[in-house]
Amino acid sequence: MTAPTTVSQTPTATTSSELADLLAAVSAAAAPLAALRPSERAGLLRAVADALDAAADELVQLAMEESHLLEGRLRGELTRTTFQLRLFGEVLEEGSYLEATIDPADPEWGMGPRPDLRRMLVPLGPTVVYAASNFPFAFSVAGGDTASALAAGCPVLVKAHSGHPRLSVRTAELVIGALAAAGAPKGTFGLIVGFEKGVEALKDPRVKAGSFTGSIPAGRALFDIAAGRPEPIPFYGELGSLNPVFVTPGAVKARGAEIASGFVGSVTLGVGQFCTKPGLLFVPAGHGLDEAILAAAREVGPATLLNQRIADGYGEGITKLVGASGVTPMIEAAPVDGLSVGPTVIKTTVPVLLEQADTLLEECFGPASLVVEYDGPQEMLAAARAFSGNLTATVHGEESEAAEIAPLLDLLRERAGRLLWGGWPTGVSVTYAMQHGGPWPATSASLHTSVGTTAIRRFLRPVSFQTMPEELLPEALHDRNVLGIPRRVNGTLTTDDVKA
């Protein structure tokens, strides 16, 4: 890593007049950005991806300095980020995301004659994205929320996370430059630095949506602002998750040692600073995995947390967990030397967990997890019922146990956005079928996802056109399928033209 750091000083906070300019700019950009063809916006996303890839060395160096994350992890995260931008470009070109729907006039329609109606999705308008600390690329300035909103056709203001301010400014420079060079409307993208102006932006009537990844208290505060406005706006907060993992007796028997080491690996990946970190491992009483878990945990050396605020919160979290009655620390490590920390694993039982749910079912962000023994299937189900919303829930079982496991999966499906059979919840692939969301407090909007191609849907709203002449209709709704996209015509999906 020898690339020079181009941003050497911590940027100063956005001023009131700068914020006013940014808001005016995204507001002015909304109509021209919405007017671009989907394929043109796909070109913008690719231009941003190319610019970030070209600056990879510089960006990764900055990210390492500011986040303490390792180079390999950061390079992988940047790859994911630019892949995501390009994948969303493909989604724009495929065109299903528009949900183009055409009902030609029908005098025989069952409830009475139907006029010609044509419906599609259009952009919501300027969006404020609150970047996360733990993903300096993938959930930050040019991350998933930004990619989603731009793909939808919404100008974006990103509120930079204070954990990587120089990286944020440099990424924003690259994004703005790439957009401009690719012909995006002026004002399509801007960066806000500082807490106060970040909050102020969400209150501005020109802003039509907000998006956030972070803690429950911060997310709740912003959600309340968005919902409390004179004109309430959607607010997509991805907040807290415990990500329970249930291990059946059959799985313990078949591959207990592998599960023990996989568990510790997932808990400590990225120093436990993932929203999908498994915070609870449910194992049958008499599982005999203590030694294997402990051995795996001892092998994990100390690693550096993102920043002092995370370290302080983590220290408080494990103090609370360890202090609960009826729990036994298997291995315990508070941060030392400021940010350096090893894993903490605590043992308890389902009855203790349920009795102290307020303490033990609270997310502890960092490399800590609880191993919880359940005494029979009824205790396992009782534990599953105690959860509120989660991003993920995982079951390690044997297919021969399917009948006994089905009721557990039913309970978990009501409480999580992604259900895993085997494997570990960390590592969220950006695909068509990914769901990264879930009931509160996993997110503030369980109808949506913040990862995967359908994340774009968050920034779109439907509009119908009734008996509109073709020259005044958006191209996607012309009789001739100009864009070659899947459309629902008379209730049936087709890529055919509409017959006159």
Dihedral sign for Cα 185, 123, 92, 63, please: positive
User: Residue 42 in contact with residue 147, Cβ under 8 Å?
Assistant: no
Smallest distance from the beta carbon of 37 to a second copy, in angstroms? Answer: 16
Q: Where are the beta strands (DSSP E) in 113-223?
A: 117-123, 127-130, 156-159, 189-192, 209-213
Smallest distance from the beta carbon of 59 to a second copy, in angstroms? Answer: 17
Smallest distance from the beta carbon of 420 to a second copy, in angstroms? Answer: 4
Smallest distance from the beta carbon of 216 to a second copy, in angstroms? Answer: 11
* d(C-alpha 153, C-alpha 123), whole Å: 5
Cβ nearer to a second copy, comparing 118 with 197: 118
Cβ nearer to a second copy, comparing 197 with 208: 208
Cβ nearer to a second copy, comparing 119 with 166: 119
> What φ, ψ does residue 170 adopt, rounded to 5°?
-65, -40
Residues labelled catalytic? 238, 275
Closest CA to 345 of 279, 257, 270: 279
306 burial level (CB within 10 Å; 0-12, 13-18, 19+): buried
Smallest distance from the beta carbon of 200 to a second copy, in angstroms? Answer: 20
Element of type H or E holding 331: strand 328-331
HSE-up of residue 369 (Cα within 13 Å, Cβ side): 34
User: Residue 237 in contact with residue 444, Cβ under 8 Å?
Assistant: yes
Closest CA to 46 of 122, 150, 155, 159: 150
* d(C-alpha 143, C-alpha 154), whole Å: 15
Smallest distance from the beta carbon of 291 to a second copy, in angstroms? Answer: 28
SS3 366: coil
User: Which residues is 210 bridged to in the sheet?
Assistant: 128, 235
Cβ nearer to a second copy, comparing 9 with 467: 467
**For tokens 């690996």, what's the residue?**
265
Smallest distance from the beta carbon of 381 to a second copy, in angstroms? Answer: 13
471 burial level (CB within 10 Å; 0-12, 13-18, 19+): exposed
How would DSSP label each residue in 460-492? Answer: EEEEEEES--GGGS-GGGSSS-TT---EEETTE
Smallest distance from the beta carbon of 168 to a second copy, in angstroms? Answer: 22
Cβ nearer to a second copy, comparing 125 with 165: 125
Smallest distance from the beta carbon of 218 to a second copy, in angstroms? Answer: 15
Closest CA to 21 of 150, 212, 204, 170: 204
Distances (CA, A) of 93 to 84, 102, 493: 14, 19, 17
Cβ nearer to a second copy, comparing 154 with 176: 154
Cβ nearer to a second copy, comparing 311 with 477: 477
Cβ nearer to a second copy, comparing 229 with 328: 229
Distances (CA, A) of 482 to 300, 347, 491: 57, 61, 19
Closest CA to 334 of 298, 292, 305: 305
Closest CA to 255 of 230, 285, 292: 292
